[in-house]
Structure 1
Amino acid sequence: MADLNPAPKGKTFVVEHLDPELEEWSSLEYSTIAAESHAAGAQFLLSSVPTSLKVPKNLQEAKGLNVETRGIEEIYAQSKDRVCLLDPAASKELSPEDGDTFDVFLFGGILGDDPPRDRTSELRKKGYQGRRLGPVQMTTDTAVRVTRIVVQDRVAVDKIPYIDNPEVRVSKNETTEMPFRYVKGEDGQPIMPKGMVDLIKKDSEKGLGDLL
């Protein structure tokens, strides 16, 4: 008989890729999610990837990443009740106990929009149970990181240390404010994907709106 209350370890985190392209910043986020999931004994699944989309080399080589052309509905057709949608519009906050209720945690691959465009509504319409991660917008990798800490490490959302709207220095005399919430690292700095700050610097002349 299947275990209805599985151990909190080994969850599956799914990002439903809702864009026809895969931008460089998104690739950095996905590779970070893959690495952290692999290290934590979890699975990372990138779903709904168009066959026409060329997966960047850094993702092709990422440990712990599974790329699927199928969408979430087809992949988990027989276990929809075990899938939790991380939804900023949900009425209930994610809790450590949700690690007993759900095996799969679903994210729309566009959580980093500023301002938010609520494209998670495309997944909400599919009828999955929803949970939110607090009132402040997060990047996709941060949302997955926070969810993993909550459901695998059993730390409440409001007990995780955060840094909101950090400033990133893009030149000697200029900084850019990132309009998101990040997890605070052990070094006291916001946890961002490796290479993201360099990408922000490179694209700073375009403005943050073009980057995200």
Structure 2
Amino acid sequence: MPLRKTYIVEHLDPELGQWSELEYIAIARETQRSGNTFMLSSLPEAFQVPQKLAEVPAFKAEKRGVEEIYGEGNGKDRVCLLDPQAEKDLNPDDKGEFDVFLFGGILGDDPPRDRTSELRKKGFKGRRLGPVQMTTDTAVRVTRMVIEEQFTLNKIPFVDFPELKFNDHESTEMPFRYVTDENGKPIMPEGMVDLIKKDADKSIDDLF
């Protein structure tokens, strides 16, 4: 069993929105601190990796799709697809069963493609992270806490749909579940609150 774990997000979008960029940088830096690997797969030829992301040693950019990297006989049985429709929740024992953790979200597709559904049909084993939608960086953070730090999901401190207050007159509710820090505040990527505040007149979907 490899000591290092790999966290993969299938991106597939030729461009990278500001929201996703901040998330990916946060994932890469946290993965670097834990001594593991963060990969974006299925990247189009035209995709430009932001400098702040490229300079993190733990990050890998990959044009191949997960099916090509981890096909039958090439470690497919060691890949865990984080799937809201999976029958079983991710648990600490999965550390011994999986080496790769796959997140199938696609950002920016209109109409959106259910990449998780496509990967499910390819036969990747699935695990669930609970019933409430998370941001991508939160989903990777939770997976790492379960696998590397051996938390069970019910022991992770969460907050659902937190309200971000910018001043006495402006606030917005985030439609996601977040891990909280020691002060009970939602853990968000560096620069994310400023981005949301700056674009408060836009919908959350527009920020991706």
Asked whether the two chains share a fold, i.e. TM above 0.5, the reply is yes
CA displacement at 1:152 relative to structure 2: 1.0
Partner deviation per Cα, 1:161-180 (whole Å, 9 max, x = no partner) = 00110111244411100010
Q: Determine the C-alpha separation between the residues in 2 that align with 1:10 and 1:28.
A: 24
Report the AA paired with residue 54 of structure 1: Q
- 1:137 and 2:133 are equivalent in the alignment: yes
Pair 20,111 (structure 1): closer, same or farther in 2 beyond 3 Å: closer
Unaligned 5+ runs, structure 2? none
Residue 58 (str. 1) matches residue 52 (str. 2): yes
CA RMSD of aligned residues (A): 2.0
Q: 1:111 to 1:69 in 2, by over 3 A?
A: closer
Q: 2:16 maps to which residue?
A: 22
From 78, 83, 94, the equivalent of 2:79 is 83
TM-score (norm 1): 0.89
Residues 171 and 51 of structure 1: CA distance in aligned 2, closer, same or farther (over 3 Å): farther
Deviation of 1:117 (Å): 6.9
CA distance in 2, matches of 1:91, 1:18: 27
Q: Deviation string for 1:73-124 (max 9, x for gaps)?
A: 11122110000000011111001011100000000244899xx974421222
Q: Give the match for residue 39 of structure 2.
A: 45
Aligned position for 1:73: 67
- Deviation per residue, 1:167-198 (Å, 9 max, x gap): 11244411100010000112321100000001
For 1:57, the aligned partner's letter is Q
Helix, strand or coil: the match of 2:201? helix
Q: Distance in 2 between matches of 1:88 and 1:111?
A: 17
Secondary structure at the counterpart of residue 90 of structure 1: coil
* 1:109/1:18 CA distance change after superposition, 3 Å: farther
Gaps of 5+ in 1: 1-5
Contact map agreement 2:13 2:108 (CA 8 A) in 1 = no
CA offsets, 1:114-155, max 9 Å, x none?
A: xx9744212222110000001110000000000001011111
Q: Secondary structure at the match of 2:118?
A: helix
- Report runs of 4+ in structure 1 exceeding 6 Å deviation: none
Q: Percent identity?
A: 62
TM-score, length of structure 2 as denominator length: 0.91
1:100 maps onto 2:92 in alignment: no
Pair 1:211-2:200 in alignment: no
Amino acid at match of 1:102: F
Number of residues of Structure 1 aligned to a counterpart in Structure 2 = 204
| 1:201 is the counterpart of 2:182 | no
